[in-house]
Amino acid sequence: MATPREETRGLFSQAVEAVLDSWPVLQIAVENGFGGAYSQEKAEWMVGAVEEYFQSNADLEPEEIEDFLAELMNNEFDTRVEDGSLAQVSQQLCLFFSQCQQGDSAAVHEAILRLTQKKQEAKMAASKSQAAQESSSNKEEETKEEAMDCSTTPSTNGPQRSTPPPPPSTETEDGWTLVRKK
């Protein structure tokens, strides 16, 4: 049977994971590979690093967490966070830590559930948006193909145009090619 301290630590770990998973800056960095080939692994490692930082430091202030997260994002993902979200994430983490320490697990579970739902809703909205973009892109391609669908037999009714030959390129004495307007 797990001790209350182990349960609290596990709950806080879930809270950290939920907060970082719903942090758009981190998710953009992971999705775009800002951390290199192992971006996803770095994001997962970050959960443990943040949890350990809380466990090994007493009476942390949100500004300290903010600095720690900024350093992690800079070192691991070559990303400077300047959108104000560091302060929000830091405050959330401090709130969850204090709630876990006070034994208010119901509030933490509820907040984790809200964050998870919010993330799922954002993913669904993004996938719908992407599907709509792909659909409109496919329609544009079909329209372009239809517009470009020309008969292969030349028309004898109208004048035929031939494309003029390209102008001769002039090479200067230093090896550069001079390109002129038509």
Q: Which residues contact 139 (CB under 8 A, 6 or more apart)?
A: none
0.85 exceeded by pTM: no
170-171 and 177-178 beta bridge pairing: antiparallel
Separation between Cα atoms, residue 116 and residue 52, nearest integer Å = 22
The pLDDT of residue 119: 79
What is the DSSP track for 49-116? HHHHHHHHSSS--HHHHHHHHHHHHHHHH-----SSHHHHHHHHHHHHHHHHHHT-HHHHHHHHHHHH
Render each residue's pLDDT in the chain as its tens digit; 182 residues. Answer: 455 667 777 899 999 999 999 999 999 999 999 999 999 999 999 999 999 999 999 889 999 999 999 999 999 999 999 999 999 999 999 999 999 989 888 999 999 899 888 878 777 777 777 777 777 666 666 666 666 655 555 555 555 656 655 555 566 667 777 777 77
Say what the pLDDT of residue 146 is: 63
Domains of the chain by residue range? 4-138
Torsion of the alpha carbons at 46, 51, 54 and 57, rounded to the nearest 10: -80
Per-residue b or e along 46-68, where b marks 16 or more CB atoms closer than 10 Å to that residue's CB: bbeebbebbeeeeebebeebbeb
| pLDDT (0 to 100) of residue 147 | 61
